[in-house]
Amino acid sequence: MSGRNTLFSPVKNFLLEAGEIAHFTWKFFREGFKPPYEWGELMRQSFEIGYRSIPLVSFTAFIMGLVITIQSHPALEVFGAESWLPSIVSVSLVREITPVITALICAGKIGSSIGAEIGSMKVTEQIDAMEVSGTNPFKYLVVTRVLSTTLMIPLLVIFGDAVALYGGFLGVNIRGTTSLHLFWEQVFNKLTFGDVFPSIIKSVFFGFVIGIVGSYKGYTTSNGTEGVGRSANAAVVISSFIVFIVDLLAAQLSDILHLT
């Protein structure tokens, strides 16, 4: 009997935490759109999450565009299809690679930061002090951060797309010579609304997931400073896992809509 309990314990814990995250998400929608609104904190969090993430996102996107272009060239060269390189690379980057990699980077940087920051406030009883002073800590700490990630991650993805495509342009010119005008013409001749729009939409969900999971793990932190570290780590792991699930669902939904 104890063996059966040990076997089903991870499943039970998974379902319990999934239910708690769902309840936490419902509380966000219940509290998030009722006044008063914390506009100042929302702007501050948007600056911290968006602007301060630009260097890391830019560097990663540039390397992705450059490396993928360089690695794709030999395969296309075998079939004499080097002229297709800008089109193929642009579709791969915009539809899949840049949104997912940017979301994973933000899950590591932003998700862990949110989990650690709110978690440290939880264990030092700062959240309790906010409640005593008449401030709604959930609205001030959670709602602003979730809205900021939901708004900023898509903007970071769009910016990362541009940087990654520029890296692809440099990668094309390592083995050949292509003008910037011709490169962009080949890119936009192939990219369609069906490539760009789903990428932006799923980036919105990526941002929401990163914000809600990081806030949840921070808001439910316990066991002192040790718990803060566990919350930050769990925020990264869980949000990264859900990002892959959302990406899979988005790919399936996109295929279904293209078939209809």
Q: Per-residue DSSP letters for the chain? A: -HHHHHHHHHHHHHHHHHHHHHHHHHHHHHHHTSSS--HHHHHHHHHHHHGGGHHHHHHHHHHHHHHHHHHHHHHHHHTT-GGGHHHHHHHHIIIIIHHHHHHHHHIIIIIHHHHHHHHHHHHTTHHHHHHHTT--HIIIIIIHHHHHHHHHHHHHHHHHHHHHHHHHHHHHHHHS---HHHHHHHHHHH--HHHHHHHHHHHHHHHHHHHHHHHHHHHT--SHHHHHHHHHHHHHHHHHHHHHHHHHHHHHHHHHHHH-
Per-residue pLDDT of 186-228, as tens digits, reads 888 888 888 888 899 999 999 999 999 999 999 988 877 788 8
* Model confidence, pTM: 0.90
Per-residue pLDDT of 229-246, as tens digits, reads 889 999 999 999 999 999
Averaged pLDDT, 140-160: 95
